[in-house]
Structure 1
Amino acid sequence: MATDEIDYNIVFPDAGTSERHWQGTKEPVVILLGWAGCKDKHLSKYSSIYNEQGCVTIRYTAPLKTVFISESFGYKELSSTALKLLEILYDYEVENSPIFFHIFSNGGFMLYRYIIELLHTDKQFSSLCVIGAAVDSAPGNANIRGALRALTAILGPKITPVLRYVLLTLFVVTVFLLRIVLYPLTKYIHKNHYDAVQENPPSWPHFYLYSRADQVIRHRDVELFMETIKQKGVPVDSFDFHSSPHVSHFLKFPEQYTLKCRDFLAACMKNLESTEIKRRRHVESQ
């Protein structure tokens, strides 16, 4: 469905499934942010991991032009998208539920960056309870070769070879100049997603799902990022699938992937419950 020019899908579980899994507590709301070029029919397969656990799910994928053009040129178009996504929680009156993110590739992580900034700075969202985030095949940093591979795959065979060559050349030149050569200067105007989140990470737990075989996002970028935010006190866990291609861990290892995502969500909910119990005891002791 669409609202304010944002196309998204929201799915509510039946009451019986929610009660069976969450036993009277508010069911989590899982926000899935798709990779660049992701089709909703593909993202819906990931949302089913959580729907079958009695969760509300919201699916959204940022447009290609926003990910590859707006962000490359420093236009913060995704910032307004992030705002509208968080407002959906209020539209459906689920703002008091635990919030969980599942992010895919740099396309999803770029949007996640602006969501984090809003949660850090906007009073409207200060009461939202984010319990964790699973990050699939992200984040990558200044990897032109990987971005070129991703864009080539997205453009596909339907586009003419000449137009494909022109688009890819323009993209490479732009990214190389603005995001690498001139980045020591342009970062003061617009930091990339990797640096922005690394410098001011959120406090909730993160679970990174990645692979050494990924030809788009370098595994060392993910590992360096994890180590940096871990040193800043962010609870971090990870799993290296070793052989699966970019955003294909679920496709290649469906049972293992599903189990790890569900276990992480359950651990985040358990942490929330433990925190709530401690808070109540503290209030009662006053």
Structure 2
Amino acid sequence: MGDDGFDYNIVFPEPQISERHWHGVKEPVVILLGWAGCKDKHLSKYSNMYNEQGCVTICYIAPLKTVFISESFGYKELRRTASRLLEILYDYEVENRPVLFHVFSNGGFMLYRYVVELLRGHAQFGTLHVLGTVVDCAPGSGNVRGALRALSTSLGPNVSIAARYFLLALFAVAVVLLRIVLYPLTKYFHKNHYDAMMDRPAPWPQLYLYSRADRVIRHRDVERMVAVLRGRGLSVESFDFVTPAHVSLFRDFPEDYSRRCRDFLEVCMSSTRGTESKKHFPVQH
């Protein structure tokens, strides 16, 4: 969907399914932010998981150029994308329903970073009721080799060898120069997603799912983020699936993965029953 060029998919569950799961409470809206190079068919299995729980789902995948190029060179193009994404809730008149984010890899996490900033500082979006966030295989920081693997995979087989090596070289130079060598200076006008979310984390409950076998996102980066957030008194859960490759947790362990996501959603929703739908978590500074 998206006649204005903003491509997303929204799915509404059958009313009887929502009623069976939520018993008259407004069903949650789950916003799924795909990884770089992700396809609609990849996100559909996650969307189905939540639709079967009576949830509305919105799936969005940020374009490769904004994830790997714009962000690397300090252009905050994803901030506009984040604003348009939240506006979808108002377009479909579901802004009064509780919202859960499900974020994949750094590609989804980069966009999520700007969503969180808007939820903090925007008068309209600040009234949204966010339940929590599930983070799948993210976030990572300063892993040039892993980022190159991700870009190479995302480019797909149809990109010529010459174009592939040119893009990989351009990306590597940008990351090393702007995000490592000059980062002590560039961070003052554009922090990377990892540092930004560590400095001003989302205040609502979070679930981090990852694998120590991941060759794109280092498990120690995820574990460091979890430790810092817990140290700030935030509600954070995590689980290491140990063996799956990058963004393959659901593929390798579908039942365990689904159960953890469903249980997290249920716990988050249980706190909303009998409360006003506009209630939101206090901002942590």
Q: TM-score, normalised by structure 2?
A: 0.95
Q: What pairs up with 1:86-235 in 2 under 5 angstroms?
A: 86-235=86-235
Distance 2:145 2:217 in 1: 9
Is this contact kept in 1: 2:30–2:58, CA < 8 A?
yes
Q: CA deviation at 1:96?
A: 0.5
Distance 2:169 2:274 in 1: 53
Q: Does 1:48 align with 2:57?
A: no
Alignment correspondent of 1:238? 238
Code of the aligned partner of 1:216: V
Alignment correspondent of 1:5? 5
Distance 1:99 1:57 in 2: 10
Distance 1:274 1:234 in 2: 23
Distance 2:252 2:136 in 1: 13
Is this contact kept in 1: 2:140–2:222, CA < 8 A?
yes
Is this contact kept in 2: 1:106–1:140, CA < 8 A?
yes
Is this contact kept in 1: 2:101–2:133, CA < 8 A?
yes
Alignment correspondent of 1:62? 62
Is this contact kept in 2: 1:203–1:233, CA < 8 A?
no
Distance 1:100 1:113 in 2: 15
SS in 1 for 2:124: helix
Unpaired runs of at least 5, structure 1 = 280-286
Alignment correspondent of 1:256? 256
Is this contact kept in 2: 1:95–1:128, CA < 8 A?
yes
Code of the aligned partner of 1:94: V
Code of the aligned partner of 2:78: L
Flag the 1:274–1:197 CA change in 2: closer, same or farther, 3 A: farther
Q: Deviations over 1:148-187 (max 9, x none)?
A: 0111111233222222112111110111000000000000
Is this contact kept in 1: 2:61–2:108, CA < 8 A?
yes
Q: Percent identity?
A: 66
Q: CA deviation at 1:234?
A: 1.6
Q: Deviations over 1:233-276 (max 9, x none)?
A: 22000110000000000011111111111111001001223766
Is this contact kept in 2: 1:82–1:112, CA < 8 A?
yes
Query: Superposition RMSD on alpha carbons, in Å?
Result: 1.4
Alignment correspondent of 2:282? none
Q: CA deviation at 1:146?
A: 0.4
Q: CA deviation at 1:84?
A: 0.6
Distance 1:205 1:52 in 2: 22
Unpaired runs of at least 5, structure 2 = 280-285
Alignment correspondent of 2:283? none
Alignment correspondent of 1:284? none
Structure 1 runs, 4 residues or longer, greater than 3 Å off: 274-277
Alignment correspondent of 1:32? 32
Q: Deviations over 1:114-164 (max 9, x none)?
A: 000000000111210001100000000011000001111112332222221
SS in 2 for 1:238: strand
SS in 1 for 2:53: coil
SS in 1 for 2:271: helix
Distance 2:270 2:276 in 1: 10
SS in 2 for 1:102: strand
Choose 164-173 or 240-249, whichever is displaced more. Answer: 164-173
Q: Which has the higher helix share?
A: 1
SS in 1 for 2:69: helix
Alignment correspondent of 1:247? 247
Alignment correspondent of 2:268? 268
Q: TM-score, normalised by structure 1?
A: 0.95
Is this contact kept in 2: 1:8–1:59, CA < 8 A?
yes
SS in 2 for 1:126: helix
Distance 1:94 1:233 in 2: 31
SS in 2 for 1:135: strand
Give the number of equivalent residue pairs: 278
